Amino acid sequence: MRGIAHYFMLAAVVSVTLGMIWGMQMAASEDHAMRSAHAHLNLVGWVTMAIFAVYYHLVPEAGARPLARIHLGVAVVGVVLMVPGIAMANSGGSPGVAIAGSLVSLASMLIFLATVVIQGRQR
């Protein structure tokens, strides 16, 4: 795996590694208050990023487009904002960062939708 696919997979693996460590910490402490933030790290960080990686690996011409680099940046920023934002909201803080991260993650998915549509029209 090379190029943008590699970077998406790297983000996915970092996410799942952090998610596993966090899950183990929650289990050991028997405090699962952050389960929703943990779940979003695993779903959006691990699963979604890995799916993006596989797509760009299987469709390398899509990964060669400048939009793919924008997609990577937006996707990573979305996870980096959303997961701590959910944790802060769960701790009684403002949900603002979680909302911002969610909107950035939605933008990431819309970029992916555009990528798939554009690529599908060119095949």
Q: Are 97 and 84 in contact (CB under 8 A)?
A: yes
Q: Work out the average pLDDT over 85-107.
A: 97
pLDDT in tens, 40-79: 999 999 999 999 999 999 999 999 999 999 999 999 999 9
Pairwise CA distance, residues 94 & 116, whole Å: 35
Question: Domains in the chain: how many in total?
Answer: 1
**Owning domain of residue 88:** 3-122
Q: Are 99 and 39 in contact (CB under 8 A)?
A: no
Pairwise CA distance, residues 100 & 44, whole Å: 15
pLDDT in tens, 16-47: 999 999 999 999 999 999 999 999 999 999 99
In sequence order, which residues have a C-beta less than 8 Å from that of residue 67 and are 6 or more positions away? Answer: 111, 114, 115, 118
